[in-house]
Amino acid sequence: MNDYDRRAYILCMADDHCTATMIDTKLGMITHKTFVEPIELVYASDKSIYKAVKKLYADALSPTSCIEIVKDNRPGGAKVIATKFIPKRFKIIGLTGRHYPISKHFIKRGVNDFSILTSQLTKKDKIFLGPCSFVNHDCKPNTVWISRNKLETCVETVRDIKKDEDITVYYSPYYFGVDNEECKCRTCEKTHFGYFKQKGFYSACITYVEYIFN
């Protein structure tokens, strides 16, 4: 393994460990895993990554945090909710994720590709893990990604969020197929878009419009 992928590998290992011991035990279910085989933490950089990821989860689970990771009945199995009112333009530090660049052969389709960021500019891939990866996608989200530093990204609210409201972010236009045509988010469900877009529904609308104008 080259140094380039080693950092990503340790991130995966730490995230699998933290989700298993800190999230799954709380939720009573198994959440996302990258399924890397644990290896020995040899270098100072290995230990530093492992420690940093543990700190991210400790921050997310802190009693002073304004968020909670809970079970969800929808696809994905888990979601993030607000435990108190969160004002607009608030950086939610408890929802931070760490990212490292990866080579193409690091990606295993259907295994660890659930949290890959691809730069639109450079087309290079990164693996992105941490409490932030529990934030579900919505086509009309209440937060946006915001960089904390070179290695970490968290979310910032784009409007006031009420207590118990789901915290969501927009992943990308292609995460759920081209133009998110397979998206099953709450907004798509409500507005009949994405997966819920039915030909019958739209042809009915068009017929109705024609009828009015004729």
Hey, which residues between 27 and 86 contact Zn ion (CB under 5 A)?
none
Closest CB 147 distance from Zn ion, rounded Å: 24
In the complex with Zn ion, which residue's Cβ is closer, 13 or 80?
80
Interface mask (CB under 5 A) for Zn ion, residues 132-151, using x and -? -------x------------
Spatial distance between the Cα atoms of 183 and 189, rounded to a whole number of angstroms:
9
Spatial distance between the Cα atoms of 88 and 157, rounded to a whole number of angstroms:
5
Spatial distance between the Cα atoms of 123 and 121, rounded to a whole number of angstroms:
6
Letter for the amino acid at 206? Answer: I
Closest CB 137 distance from Zn ion, rounded Å: 7
Closest CB 183 distance from Zn ion, rounded Å: 3
Which range binds Zn ion by CB under 5 A, 19-27, 36-44, 52-60, 131-139?
131-139
Q: Are strands 168-169 and 136-137 parallel, antiparallel or unpaired?
A: parallel
3-state secondary structure (DSSP) of residue 77: coil
Spatial distance between the Cα atoms of 32 and 24, rounded to a whole number of angstroms:
10
Closest CB 188 distance from Zn ion, rounded Å: 3
DSSP conformational letter for 23? I
Would you count residue 194 as binding Zn ion (CB under 5 A)?
yes
Spatial distance between the Cα atoms of 51 and 41, rounded to a whole number of angstroms:
11
Would you count residue 169 as binding Zn ion (CB under 5 A)?
no
Q: In the sheet that 116-118 helps form, which strands lie side by side, from edge to edge?
A: 116-118, 125-129, 91-102, 152-157, 143-147, 168-169, 136-137
Closest CB 193 distance from Zn ion, rounded Å: 6
Interface mask (CB under 5 A) for Zn ion, residues 173-192, using x and -? ----------x-x--x----
Is residue 72 within 8 Å of 136, Cβ to Cβ? Answer: yes
In the complex with Zn ion, which residue's Cβ is closer, 26 or 140?
140
In the complex with Zn ion, which residue's Cβ is closer, 90 or 196?
196
Closest CB 91 distance from Zn ion, rounded Å: 24
Contact residues toward Zn ion (CB under 5 A) are 139, 183, 185, 188, 194
